[in-house]
Structure 1
Amino acid sequence: MNPPTYPANLPQNLHPPTLNVERSTLNVERSLPLPHSPFAIRNSAFAILLVLLALAPAARSDTSWFDRLDDSLFLSTRDGTFRTDLSVLADLELYSTGRRPPGLLFGNDPQSINPRLSLFLDTRLGNHLYSLVQVRWDRGFDPFAKPDGTARFDEYLLRYTPFTEPWLNIQAGKFATVFGQWVHRHDSWNNPFINAPLSYENVFTITDKTAPASPKAFLGRRSVPDKKADWLTTLWGPSYTSGGSVFGRLQKLDYAFEVKNASISSRPTVWDATDHNWSDPTFTARLGTRPNAAWNLGASFSRGGYLISNPGLTLPAGRHTSDFPQTTIGTDLSYAWHHWQFWAEVIGTRFAVPRVGDADTLSYFLEAKYKLTTSLFTALRWNQQFFGKVPDGTGANQRWDQDAWRIDASLGWRIDRHLQTKLQYSYTHQHGPLLQADQLLAAQLTVKF
């Protein structure tokens, strides 16, 4: 049994388918980064390699009991009309940064361990009804966001497929967005890296909690370390927001439309239907085509309110959160050739910011994976993000955040169909003051059954 193919809004036989580009001084906490130490990174790399080399062969010694367990975690009627399967994905991650962690790694500890346990319950009733529930225990949806540990329902959905062919599917619940292609492979088993592309985890100075008092206050956020509990990203990971979707495949055309309670940039704290009201729903769509078995190309669009209801009573008089939407367009492609796999996405986003105007950002990533052997693979990813200019209140225009690029390299070992380990190194360059770590070394051990 395997965790469901992502996004969960698609059945396993159906794979989905000029901007002007603001920071406030609200409660600025100026905790300074830890001193950068190349020796800490190097020592951590050595320690991580020792741990992986010790754990992986030991785990590989006998996994036949995983096979037996895998084959027993289901309930089914004799005729197969009803069947429910339990799947498990367990991860142990080690991170070393040398200073304040970058991206969506929370906390201030430059060296941390993150365990994660995900349970998937897939249920089918006849040929037309399907449900999925994903329960996860970890230290926060994003590593170390909840350092004492937390358990929650990340996904729950009910799907109706009226035909035997995948022409039409109707779904409701809490599930991953249909935007782009990266979401299809974001889980630890299918992602050749340990983290997400820059577009899905680079925190910038837009916030959903309060409106800036002035352009000057907005631009002032650029010199503040990332406030990850308050600021947003272009897309926040897989964006498990709540709502409904309609999707399907018509010959070589994939289509998907969804209406959700929160924007694709929203933080996990507002993803449940009860966390955020439906006054400013987000509409997202993707159209894709598969010319042949090797290619998958698509275009996505999303628009909806990103501000939470009445954000701190700071909106200009007479204005509503619906007056300040997030509008996002994107294009994506994937290609497979022999031992190679390639992916690319380009995403442009405009945030309408109170008292400032339109804040635009453009990001993209290029990714390649190569199978060295039947069990070893390596991957390389180039990420870049650009920020547009906004009025600074004095008649001039300034960039509202710092342009950045990042390169990720990984080496993976799929030991067998139940065990996998990965090692990743990332280097980030950001224009302007360096407020987070520029280097990341990470390792991950995954058990799947």
Structure 2
Amino acid sequence: MRRLAAWAALPRTSFRARLLLALVGSVGLLLAAALLVVRVQTRRQVAVMVDRAVQRTDAAYREMEEARLRQLRGYTARFAGSNRLPAALEEAVLSPGAAEFLGETVLYELQLAGIPNALAAFGERDGRPVAAVLEGAPLPDARAALPASAASAAAGPAEGVASHHRVGGRLYTVQTVPLALFGEPVGTLTLGIPLDDAAAAQLGRSVGAEVCFLADGRCVASTPGVRRGGLDRRMRDAARAGARRRTRWDGARMALVPARLASGGGAQEVTRIVAIPLEDVLRPFDQLERAQAAAGVVSLLVALALGTVLSRSFARPVRALVAATRKVAEGDLETRVAVAGRDELGTLAAAFNEMTHGLMLKERYRGVLDKVVSREVADELLKGEIRLGGETRDVTSLFADVRGFTTLTEGMDPERVIGLLNELVGRMGGAVEAEGGVVDKFLGDGLMAIFGAPGVQPGHALRAVRAAVRMRDAVAGVNAERAARGEASVEVGIGINSGPAVAGNMGSPGRLNYTVLGESVNLASRLCSSAQGAEILVSRATWERVDADVDAVPGGMRSIKGLSAPVEVFRVRGLRAAGRIPVPGLAVLALALLACAPAAAQPLPTLADLGATWTSPGGTVQVTPRGRLELEANLPGEAHAWQVPGTEPVFQPRAALFLDAFAGSRWYAGFAAHADRARPLRGQDVSVRIEQAFLRWSPFGGDGLFVQAGQFVSPFGSYPARHHTPADPFIRPPLPYDYRTILSAARVPGGAAGFLRWKDEPAVHRPEGAPPVWAAPYPTGAMAGGRAGRLDGRVAVLTSAPSSEPRRWRFRASDAAPSVAASAGVQVTPGARIGASFSRGPYLEPSPVQPAADTIDASEFHQQMWAVDASFTRGWVEARAEVILDRWEVPNVGADPRDVSWTAEAKVKLSPAVFVAGRYGAMRFNRIGAVGEQVRWDYDVDRAEVAAGLRLGRNTEVRAEYLRLRTDAPPAGGDDAFALRWTWVF
């Protein structure tokens, strides 16, 4: 042991070797502990696996039985909806000799319906049998065909009563419905389809088990293996006991689980027995116990030997690093750690010392810069991005100057003069910084401020005026304090102008001064000189930008020194009151509307109520129109984060018409037309368009394999399929389907450096940028898909990528290349589903605004996306989550821009008519290299949403939503919006 300790302490022993040895010992400890846990948990896990198998069996049986009942309900509704069979039944009741005609009539109807081998039985209102047919022939004894529940069904609901019934040694799933002639009940119809070996085999294949259906103690339908080896006898014993049993059959361990099924009453009892194989469940536990017993003992011994030796040599330098890290976190940047060797820990200690030294130097530089320039300019200097020269920018300049400062300070001690000056310019500078402006320089007893540079700043004119009002209020506060001390008041004149100016660094390479120059800056300075005490003068250029938010009066034409023509000026009196209800107040208003809505709710008709549906005489072709009308109001916030480029309330009416056409069970056509303001938050006019028009063919009928072509919703992502459906409790789409990145489908960047500057010019690039996924893309193309058991999948060839806007959805021969999208999912349980999807295709417009280089083709700009999603429903609670990985191929940028986004939401029904919901979404962007530096290509963003909805009637609803978005995009801050929508589905 001493030799081993000495070997571990040698300097040449690397950190990686020590760590590996420590991991071996840890694995041994884990295996030893796992052995104990497995022995305790094996029995419990087996019970859990059996329960899950039973749940899967129940779900599969319910699915199969529901399909059979849907088929029966369709047939019974068809028979009960016509007068032919009720009339024949009434005649047979009144005239017993007419029972033969009734049998012929029902045989003819069954032949038309395509189920000639079904069971059909008629009874009077009191349950007495009238006639029955079985598998295409009259049944001599009609009493055997009627379940005991037939009498109660005569006065029951129109959809009837479902049960199981055994006739002639066979088991049938039956549906008993009342028959009425001109509103008067005449009797009952019992229609049944056989539950035979084929149905049992189908159920057995879907759950991987042996299945038997027992009626009156006999196995009337089963999988092929049940009657082999005496398994049916053991199943009958389990059914009689009514409890689960364990058995060994054919050399394998199995669990027998009985379940009582609904029967027609009387003496009949129907039971389903499932034999669930346990060998695959138990085998891993058996192997795991054996493997862990051996590995655990060996690893435990090794761990005990090596753990003691290695822990001391490993923990000492780590503790030193932890202690030093805590000192750095407390602000001690001069702390250092000893470099004890040349292994990994020694390298880490050296890197830590270099880091603290760099942090100390940077903190010193930052402290000096913050004292001589604004924080924004200091940030740019530290990044090394400011160079000598400038660029033309749209800015607002503000000049403020103390009136009569020389007279005011005459005879005053220099120290008092400096104190007064510092107090005044300090408060005025604070007003500028509070509105996001930059103090360019202090001019003796005044200052110069810039809004709109160095960073792009929407609404810079209004910010400058608000800063001026703050200055005037701050000076008024100073005067109040001076008046209390018996000192003279101070007056400040302020001038503001907006317009183009050259913004940049002036001076020499060794000494820079960031400022703005130009005629618009000179005019602001002259307006300041012309302003009287406590007067704020703005030019017409500024007034036109802030008129809606600022209370100003014309000041007439003034002759300004240095300008040849008079200038029109406006005197600012103050800020206007908010023109709309704040968003929190809107939330209270929405709740009040929701509370009062039930009293105003009126039942509204549907197209089906008006008889707009059409069915062919034979029932083969059916056309069903539907519609939806929505009245929506959006009230955006201040738009700092560019969620919506505007602050005015927007009213959005929207109408949609849907048409579903069925031709038999194999052909289906879908059509959807929409009328709305296609981009209302950007002021676009009304748009009428066809969003869906496709034809689907299912060669085997039902929801199995299908092929479709036309214009339809993209299979990528989990949101498009539930867009504008009751499954979506919100008004706005999730964040990745709604928020525009700065990457454009209509503009090609000149290079990496220019592309990375796009994010700092949101007014130009944000409105035309592309989201990862358009809210619900409806491209043109072809798709194939289907469902097999719990699995479903789709693959499509489409005309556009998920981020493309509606103008790219339609087919055009000039498109460079098609897009490919695919999705797959598995229904893990009846309430839980997991899915994944993929898409790849060109996103660039065929004719971009800024053409790419001659060597780059538009087809080289692809978007590739992966998404995984999950959903869970249980009772009145629904939860969903989705993660999207997005990659944009931009050849002339170099590294591909990537982003990852995720959303999670939950919905809770408080009652059948009221729900609340919450959702959170985030987007993160990768770094791209430019000029030797790695920079994120867009600003990260987070968004939280809450919603509430109230169902007013059978087809009307009112819904409210509030959302809050947060990002560092210039200007950094939050953005919120409120939306209210009324919906009528008709």
Bigger mean CA deviation after superposition, 173-182 or 184-193: 184-193
The residue correspondences of 1:136-175 to structure 2 (distance < 5 A) are 136-140=674-678, 142-145=679-682, 147-175=684-712
The alpha-carbon deviation at position 295 of structure 1 amounts to 1.1
Mean CA deviation greater in 419-428 or 217-226: 217-226
The answer to whether 1:296 aligns with 2:833 is: yes
Q: 2:667 aligns with which of 123, 129, 142?
A: 129
Contact 2:641 2:970 in 1 (8 A): no
2:582 paired residue among 40, 46, 71: 40
> Are 1:192 and 2:729 matched, yes or no?
yes
In structure 2, C-alpha distance between the alignment counterparts of 1:272 and 1:380, rounded to whole Å: 35
User: Contact 1:101/1:110 (CA < 8 Å) preserved in 2?
Assistant: no
User: Counterparts of 1:103 and 1:71 in 2: how far apart (Å)?
Assistant: 45
CA drift of 1:98 comes to 2.6
SS at match of 1:438: strand
**Counterpart check, 1:422 vs 2:959:** yes
Shift of 1:246: 0.4
Q: CA deviation digits over 1:291-316, x for unaligned, max 9?
A: 22111111111111111224246212
Contact 1:315 1:354 in 2 (8 A): no
Residue 341 (1) aligns with residue 767 (2): no
Residues 587, 962 of structure 2: 8 Å contact kept = no
Deviation at 1:433, TM superposition (A): 2.2
Q: Distance in 1 between matches of 2:761 and 2:589?
A: 32
Contact 2:742 2:766 in 1 (8 A): no
Greater length-normalized contact order (CA 8 Å, ≥ 6 residues apart): 1
SS of 1:235's partner is: coil
Aligned residue number for residue 790 of structure 2:
252
Which structure shows the bigger proportion of residues in helix conformation?
A: 2
Partner amino acid, structure 2, of 1:330: A
The residue that corresponds to 2:87 in the other structure is: none
Q: What is the rounded CA distance, in whole Å, between the counterparts of 1:212 and 1:116 in structure 2?
A: 36
Change (3 A) 1:313 1:400: closer
Amino acid at match of 1:445: W
Q: 1:376 and 1:103 mapped to 2: Cα distance? A: 32
Name the counterpart of 2:913: 375
1:358-437 aligned at under 5 Å gives the runs: 358-392=896-930, 394-434=931-971
Q: Find 1:305's aligned residue among 823, 828, 842.
A: 842
Aligned to 2:626: 87
TM superposition score normalised by structure 2: 0.40
Identical residues among aligned pairs (%): 27
Match of 2:985 in 1: 448
What residue is the counterpart of 1:233 in the other structure? 771
Supply the AA of the counterpart residue of 1:381. R
Secondary structure of 1:178's partner? coil
Match of 1:204, SS state, is coil
Q: Does 1:77 align with 2:616?
A: yes
Bigger mean CA deviation after superposition, 69-78 or 285-294? 69-78
Secondary structure (helix, strand or coil) at the match of 1:162 reads coil
Q: Distance in 2 between matches of 1:345 and 1:233?
A: 16
Aligned counterpart for 2:822 among listed residues 271, 281, 285: 285
- What is the deviation of 1:188? 5.0
Distance in 1 separating the partners of 2:758 and 2:707? 42
Going from structure 1 to structure 2, the CA distance change for 1:225 and 1:110 (only over 3 Å counts) comes to farther
Q: 1: distance between equivalents of 2:588 and 2:875?
A: 33
Give the 3 Å change call, closer, same or farther, for CA 345–431 of structure 1 in structure 2. same
CA distance in 2, matches of 1:46, 1:194: 18
Distance 1:101 1:135 in 2: 35
Paired positions, count: 418
Q: Give the secondary structure class of the aligned counterpart of 1:290.
A: strand
* 2:635 corresponds to 1:96: yes
The verdict on how the C-alpha distance between 1:441 and 1:155 changes in structure 2, with shifts beyond 3 A counting, is same
Q: Distance in 1 between matches of 2:606 and 2:819?
A: 42
User: Match for 2:926: what amino acid?
Assistant: G
Q: 1:387 to 1:306 in 2, by over 3 A?
A: same
Cα deviations across residues 35-75 of structure 1 (Å, max 9, x unaligned)? 897953244445555665666632x23x1x51575452212
Q: Deviations over 1:403-438 (max 9, x none)?
A: 011111111112222011111111111024247961
Give 1:214-225 correspondences, 5 Å limit.
214-225=751-762
Q: 1:138 corresponds to which letter in structure 2? A: D
Gaps (5+ residues) in structure 2? 1-66, 68-390, 395-451, 464-548, 550-577
Distance of 2:818 and 2:688 partners within structure 1:
27
Q: What is the CA–CA distance in structure 1 between the aligned matches of 2:773 and 2:702, rounded to whole Å?
A: 31
Quote the Cα distance in structure 1 between the aligned partners of 2:966 and 2:973.
Answer: 10
* Rounded Cα–Cα distance in structure 1 between residues aligned with 2:973 and 2:774: 19
What secondary structure does 2:688 align onto? strand
Change (3 A) 1:187 1:103: farther
Give me the CA root mean square deviation: 2.8
Check conservation: 1:325, 1:351, Cα contact below 8 A: yes
Distance 2:775 2:732 in 1: 9
* 1:212 and 1:355 in contact (8 A); partners too: yes
| 1:99 alignment partner AA | E
Tell me the CA shift for residue 96 of structure 1: 1.1
Evaluate the alpha carbon distance shift between residue 146 and residue 244 of structure 1 in structure 2; reply closer, same or farther with a 3 A threshold: farther
Cα pair 1:188 1:446 within 8 Å, conserved:
no
Paired letter, 1:265: S
The 3-state SS of whatever aligns with 2:660 is strand
Aligned pair 1:204/2:746, yes or no?
no
Distance in 2 (alpha carbons) for counterparts of 1:103 and 1:88: 33
Structure 1: gaps spanning 5 or more residues: 1-12, 14-24
Amino acid aligned to 2:801: S
Equivalent residues in 2 for 1:24-35, closer than 5 Å: 32-33=458-459
Deviation sequence 1:226-245 (CA, Å, 0-9, x none): 64652101100111111110
Residue-by-residue CA offset, 1:119-160 (whole Å, 9 max, x unaligned): 1011112221111111111111x4445643121111111111
Preserved contact between residue 316 and residue 354 of structure 1 (Cα < 8 Å): no
Instruction: Find 1:269's aligned residue among 807, 832, 837.
Output: 807
The structure with the greater share of residues assigned to strand is 1
Q: Which residue of 1 aligns with 2:599?
A: 57
Give the AA of the match of 1:289: V
SS in structure 1 at match of 2:730: coil
Secondary structure at the counterpart of residue 210 of structure 1: coil
Mapped to 2, the partners of 1:138 and 1:363 lie a distance apart of 29
Which range is displaced more, 405-414 or 28-37? 28-37
162-171 or 359-368, larger mean C-alpha shift: 162-171
SS of residue paired to 1:230 = coil
Change (3 A) 1:303 1:103: farther
Query: Contact conserved, 1:104 with 1:202, CA < 8 A, in 2?
Result: yes
Q: Which has the larger radius of gyration?
A: 2
Deviation at 1:78, TM superposition (A): 2.0
- Judged with a 3 Å threshold, the aligned counterparts in structure 2 of structure 1 residues 45 and 283 are, in CA distance, closer, same or farther, namely same
The Cα of 1:191 is off from its aligned counterpart by 1.4
Does structure 1 conserve the Cα–Cα contact (< 8 Å) formed by 2:841 and 2:864? yes
Equivalent position SS for 1:207: coil
Where does 1:174-185 land on structure 2 (aligned, <5 Å)?
174-185=711-722
Q: TM-score, normalised by structure 1?
A: 0.86
